[in-house]
Structures are given as structure tokens and as C-alpha cells.
Structure 1
Amino acid sequence: MSVNYAGIALVLNCGSSSVKYQVVDTTQEEPLAVGLVERVDNHAEAIQQIIASLDEPGSGVTLADLTVVGHRVVQGGAEFSAPTIIDDEVEKKIAVLATLAPLHNPPNLAGISAARAAFPNIPHVAIFDTAFHATLPEAAYTYAIDRRVAAEHGVRRYGFHGTSHSYVSRETARLMGKQVEDLNTIVLHLGNGASATAVKAGKSVDTSMGLTPLEGLVMGTRSGDIDPAVVTHLARTAGMTVDEVDTLLNRQSGMLGLTGYSDMRDVNDAIDAGSHEAKVAMDVYCRRIRGYIGQYYAQLGHLDAVTFTAGVGENDDVVRAGSLEGLEELGIKIDLERNAGRKKQPTLISADDSRIQVWVIPTNEEREIATQSVAAVS
């Protein structure tokens, strides 16, 4: 059973050109403050803008009351498997791990350095996207390539969206009136980036993203699972460089590559307008999800719930229905009326006679980061 610690956390999610932030009192349901600094050229200046905003009268925040600063860090590698209090040595290790997440860890680290300078007397905690998946069994994280090569270059499954999968799996248990340790859940985090995770007794035992966030489900601009030989095939026949293939698979594929749209709302509009390409793309998208549900059902052995979350999962009833179509024999059956429309609150969408419950639960990664950060310093 988890222990709820009380505290106030400033949560920072630092990207290359923006910094999202929230101030969360873990004893209150709603955040004290929410904000975004865009067009960031200098993370130190962005942190100062945040401080100035929170210092304004009526902000609802007293900076002196902060317990901790919690930082989202995408890649923790095999080094970090839990919330970690940040010191100079931890910063150096996060920098080394940038080879596994070159687009994410450097701006995460820049935000950490700037925030530690701005708040030198408050503990800072790194919450890693990969940490929730540190419980993966060896057979789940091991790729079938030469072990020496894999070990030398850190090639293994790490998984991502860990804070979301952790929060949503725990919320699923709470809403079902059970302890998370007594529940097996498949969490479907479907946004522009998308991942599926099998959660057994509160622990991740399999997840769809791998060494990078490219593997797994079809996404807004990412291909998801693909024959690795596509890379060498395009290099040989199209003369594409490694960087060009990387751009293709990460930024020009997925729903964008299939339809011209990365936003699922536009894809649905195209389907309604009679687009064959959009309809096929939606079928590919949902078919991939169904495949992972079946795979993880088999890995778990027993399944209590399937939960949708994130932008697409919370708002697209077409995707939810399509992802579970034909799974009635597995004990998964949704109620079309319950499923209809966007879900801003936790909603049970399975039919009364569905053996496995199906939920839509809005994710709250910032609150999860705040909760874990406060616990780490309590």
C-alpha cells in the first residue's frame, strides 16, 4: 500500500523551446498554478520568468513554502530506476545518458541546472520516464542481438511514459475499489506519442516503446513497429542516410505519413469525408493496439482492466471502439453509449456483462511527478 506524503512541489518539464510547469500541493486535488514558457532560448531566463510569475500577488503560490522541485527526465537508462535526488554527480550521469535520448535529456538537464541555481536551498528530484519500467523481466527488455554489442551500447528496452502508466494504473485500481497490488491492467497511453504497458500487481512487466520512443504503436508521426531491414533497404535502394531514415520514421511516418495528418481529429474528418487512405490508416492504428492487447493479455495470464488515457485515448471514441472491436470472446466488451464522446473525468465504458472492465482515465503526469518528488524527500 502506498503512503501519501504531504508537500508542495514545483514540477518542471523542460523541452528544447518550452518549459511547462505546475505547482502542486499533494494534499489538494487541483494544482496551485499551471503555466508554460514558450520560445525558450535560455533555460535560466525561462526559470526566472516562472519565478516572477509565481511571485506575483494573487498567484496562489508562496515560493518559500516549496518543499521540492521535481524534474521530468526522459531517459534514465539502466542507471536510474527510482526518483533520484539530484546532485552534481547525478547531473553528469543524465548528461551521459543523452546518447540514448539526444532530443530530450539535454533540455531536461539544462532546466535542472538552471533551476538548481535559482532554488539552491530546496531539494531537486529527477523523475525518469523510464523508471516505472525498471521492473521489466529480463526476457521483456532483452533484444535478440549479440549480447556484447547490446551491453557495450546500452541496447535494450527501456520504455517511456512511465509517470503516466504509473499514475493511471494506480487510479484504475482506486476507482475499482482495489489495491493496485491485486490488479492486472493494460494501460493504453494514446497521444501524439503512444505506448501500451502491461501492469501486473502495480509493476510494469512489458511495454511497447523500446530503446527509444519509436518502437511499438502507430503514433502521430512515428511508425512504431517496423521490419528493421526497412532501414538498410532504404539506404541501399533510395540512397537515404541514417539521419534521413531516422527523420522519416520519427517525424514523417505514423498517421502523418499515411494520411497527411498527425492530429486524429483531422483523420476522423477525412474518414467522414470518404477518404479511403484515412480509413485504412485508422484500421492500421487500431489493429496495432488490438495486437498489443492480445499479446499483453497472454503475458499477464489474467486481466482485470484495460484503461485508455492521454489526448487520443481520452477524447477519441472511434479509436477506443476500434481498438477493442472483436475482443468480446476475451471478455472485453464496451458499451457504445458510455463510450461516446470525450471524457474529461474518469469513466467506465465497458458493458455491464464485460468480464474485464474498460476505463477512460485522464492522465496527470505532473501530479505523479509531484507525488514521487515529495515522497523522495520525506
Structure 2
Amino acid sequence: MVLVVNSGSSSIKFRLYKVVQGHLEIIAEGIAERIGLDGSLTIKANGIKDTWQHDFPNHLRAVETIIASLQNLQLINKPTDIEGIGFRVVHGTNKITKPIIIDQETKMIIKEAAKLAPLHNPGALIAIEAFEKVIPQATLVAQFDTAFHQTIPEVNFIYPVPYEWYQNHQVRKYGFHGISYQFITQKMAEITGKASHKLNLIVCHLGNGASVAAIKKGVSFDTTMGFTPLAGLMMGTRSGNIDPSILAYMGKELNLNLDEVTDLLNKKSGLLGLSQFSSDMRDIENEWKKGTKLPSLAYEKYVQIAADFIVTMANRIGEPIDALVFTAGIGENSPLIRQSIIMNLPLLNLVLDNNANHEKYQEWSKISAPTSKIPIYVVRTNEELMIAQETIKLMTSQNKKLNNLV
């Protein structure tokens, strides 16, 4: 069995997989929430979801409760049934370029990168150390959101600021959603039958957080998120790219410091800030259909920015493109957004099959008409499965090395 963990400062999301005849099957999934407060644990298994109230003073107690609950539900017989644990970690700086078995050096890199991802990396590290104590024999693997983007060439990741900012302070584009992009690249190679190292894709990861990436010859060539996930597209509550002088100006206007203004750009901007209504695209779409002014403005701005970045990424690739792919919550589930974005890309000569765009699908669907210059797909991303697969690969590799040593 393999457990996939996505931990924050006050929560631990998890999914338990079992290898059955060479395939990974989901046994259970859940979340421990409000760690440090009056917490709760929710586990869904066999079509049944249960929630229990628990006192979680820290991550260690939450991990102990998760494992004990999996035993009580007879989903595992004993903790040692879990042979591998894969952790999603947001930031690995430029030092980690692929999934890695966790050791002291890995933990130090995660800790050092906390200054670049203060909301995410500390929680991941605390969870890693908690699972180390509860299931010490398991192989622990970290997969980083930034790792997939370490193939981006310097001309694409560097900012036009004093170069010593990069040399001395690590200021550069890192990019995020890398685990999702890795999964989509792997899936598109399977769908198209084309070797991944020959694959050119533009992938739109449109969720509450959103980004677009240029995948050239199977690796990340550029992406819209930058030094932080605030950059790039307009998102649910994030502004995306704006004139940086606005921060100093609004700080003076509102009598706020730089951190407070940045917090507004992260949590009160994007769809929520412009619409003055909601950060949820489903709500925005409904108001757009009614013609409500500010939600309609937010909808149109979102579509415009996404379309502009798709053109930019097409230009970055500079070669024939095998597919434009929509994924993540909005990209997977909103035919209207997909249609609106395509309508804002006249220079790319894209043509949707309207029926295919609105049809239900399982894992993926081709939604372009035969006359479209670039094939268009919608593909369900699966970051947890990607982490589980990479964890098993590293476990297998580690076991081979041990056997060779023996």
C-alpha cells in the first residue's frame, strides 16, 4: 500500500492506494482538519464517508489518529501495511528536479525553501517528520510542485532585475502546479501515442489557482506562475500580473504595509475582487449569463488574460503544437469557459466541436473539430496518482539497489 499526503499548516489530506494486479486502486481518502484546534477527521471508503471530532494539538497526534482510524475501519491490518508514503511539497528551489527519497538533506532543502513558500513548506515538513515517527519503516518520497519546471531555460525564468538578486537571493521564476503538468504530459503521450520527448503542448491548469504552461519536447519550457503562485493569470482570489508600483501606491493610499497589500492581492483580488461577488467561477458564470455588471467584467477579464497567455506560450514553443489541453477544476468542468477562451484566440485558428465540448466524459475527451489547426483536449488531472506512481518507482529502485548490495 502507498499513502499520498498533502499537508498544510493546519490540515493533512491523504489518499490510500493499493497495488492490485499492477494497477493502483484507491482504498480510502480523507482529511484531518483544524490541527492545533478542535479538529476533525473525515475518511471516505467503500462509498461511505464518516467524520469524527478529535483533539489535534499537533500534526503527530493527527497522523497517529489517521493510522489508527484506518486500522479501526479495517482498511489496513497494521501500520506496516503502508510501505511507501508520497508527499506533495510545494517548493524545492532549483536544487530538486525530480521526485526524491526523503533523507536529512531533502528535509534541509524543504526547510530552507520555507522562506520562498512560508504557507506551504513548513506544514509539509512537520507532516513528514510525524509520519517518520509513526511508520518508521516506510519509504518516504517527496514530489515538488516546482521540480517539473526546472527545465525552463534561463532566458525564460530570469527576471529583468539586478542579476545579483538571482545570484544571492534566488529571485527567479519557479513555476508551480508541476505535478499536474507532469501527469498531463504523461497522459497526453498515452492518448496521442506520441513519445513524450517529442510532445509539444500548451496546458491550461484552471482551478482556484491557475496557470498555463508551455511543454516543449515533453518538458516544461515556460509557465505563467513565477517567483510565487501570485504571478500570471487572474485566479479565484489572486490578482495575477499587475504593475508592481500599485503595491507602494495602495500601501500609501490605504495606510498598509507591503505585506498587508500583498495579502490583499493573494486573498481579496482576482475573480472575488473584481466581481465583488464570489471567487467561484460557477457563481461568476451564472451572473455573467444574467448580465450582472461586475461579475461579467470579471468573467471577460479572466477569459481575456487566459487567451493572451495561451498565445504567448504558443509563441514560446515556436513549433507545431500537438494539443491545447484544459485541466483542473474550471478547465475540466466548464464548457463555457473553454468555449469563451477559444473564441478569444482567432489567430490560432482553433475550432471547437460544440457537442463534444458539452458531453460528459471520464478521464479525457477530444473537444476540437477536425478543422481545428491545433487539437483541443480536456483531461482530468490526478496529482495524487502521479505521486503514488513516482513513490512506487523510487521504492522499486531502492529495493533493487538493496538487493544488489546483498
Q: Give the TM-score band, short-chain normalised.
A: over 0.9
How far the C-alpha of 1:57 sits from its partner, in A, is 4.7
For 2:279, the equivalent position in structure 1 comes to 262
- SS of 1:196's equivalent in the other structure is strand
CA deviation profile, 1:144-196 (whole Å, cap 9, x unmatched): 11011232221000000100011012112211222212210011111110011
For 1:67, the equivalent position in structure 2 comes to 83
Please identify which structure carries the higher strand content: 2
**Correspondence for 1:159 among 150, 175, 179:** 175
For 2:6, the equivalent position in structure 1 comes to 13
CA deviation profile, 1:47-92 (whole Å, cap 9, x unmatched): 1122112213542676434331111110100121111211223212
Q: How many residues align?
A: 371
How far the C-alpha of 1:341 sits from its partner, in A, is 5.8
Opposite residue 298 of structure 2, the aligned amino acid is A
Matches within 5 A, 1:100-179: 100-179=116-195
For 1:377, the equivalent position in structure 2 comes to 395
Matches within 5 A, 1:1-378: 8-25=1-18, 27-41=22-36, 42-59=58-75, 63-259=79-275, 260-301=277-318, 302-340=320-358, 343-378=361-396
CA distance 1:298–1:111, shift in 2 (3 Å) = same
Opposite residue 348 of structure 1, the aligned amino acid is K
* CA distance in structure 2 between the partners assigned to 1:62 and 1:359 by the alignment: 42
CA distance 1:329–1:92, shift in 2 (3 Å) = closer
* CA distance in structure 2 between the partners assigned to 1:211 and 1:288 by the alignment: 19
CA distance 1:344–1:263, shift in 2 (3 Å) = farther
CA contact under 8 A between 1:67 and 1:374: conserved in structure 2? no
Name which structure has the greater RCO, CA cutoff 8 Å, separation 6+: 1
* CA distance in structure 1 between the partners assigned to 2:166 and 2:188 by the alignment: 36
CA distance 1:210–1:109, shift in 2 (3 Å) = same
TM-score normalised by length of structure 1: 0.94
* CA distance in structure 2 between the partners assigned to 1:330 and 1:257 by the alignment: 31
Give percent identity, aligned residues only.
40
CA distance 1:342–1:74, shift in 2 (3 Å) = farther
* CA distance in structure 2 between the partners assigned to 1:142 and 1:232 by the alignment: 23
- SS of 1:287's equivalent in the other structure is helix
CA deviation profile, 1:123-147 (whole Å, cap 9, x unmatched): 2111111000010101111011101
Deviates more, 1:328-337 or 1:222-231: 328-337
Deviates more, 1:173-182 or 1:133-142: 173-182
* CA distance in structure 1 between the partners assigned to 2:376 and 2:167 by the alignment: 39
CA contact under 8 A between 1:315 and 1:341: conserved in structure 2? no
* CA distance in structure 1 between the partners assigned to 2:334 and 2:353 by the alignment: 15
* CA distance in structure 2 between the partners assigned to 1:81 and 1:369 by the alignment: 14
CA distance 1:57–1:253, shift in 2 (3 Å) = closer
Structure 1 runs (4+) greater than 6 angstroms displaced: none
Deviates more, 1:36-45 or 1:133-142: 36-45
CA deviation profile, 1:234-292 (whole Å, cap 9, x unmatched): 12333321121111100000000011200111111211232021111111101111111
Give structure 2 stretches of 5+ with no counterpart: 37-57, 397-406
Q: Pick the structure with greater CA Rg.
A: 2
- SS of 1:353's equivalent in the other structure is coil
Give structure 1 stretches of 5+ with no counterpart: 1-7
CA deviation profile, 1:279-325 (whole Å, cap 9, x unmatched): 11111101111111111111111211011111111111111111111
- SS of 2:228's equivalent in the other structure is coil
CA RMSD of aligned residues (A): 1.7
CA deviation profile, 1:196-216 (whole Å, cap 9, x unmatched): 111112100001100100000
Deviates more, 1:158-167 or 1:169-178: 169-178
* CA distance in structure 2 between the partners assigned to 1:23 and 1:284 by the alignment: 39
CA contact under 8 A between 2:213 and 2:220: conserved in structure 1? yes
TM-score normalised by length of structure 2: 0.88
Deviates more, 1:83-92 or 1:346-355: 83-92
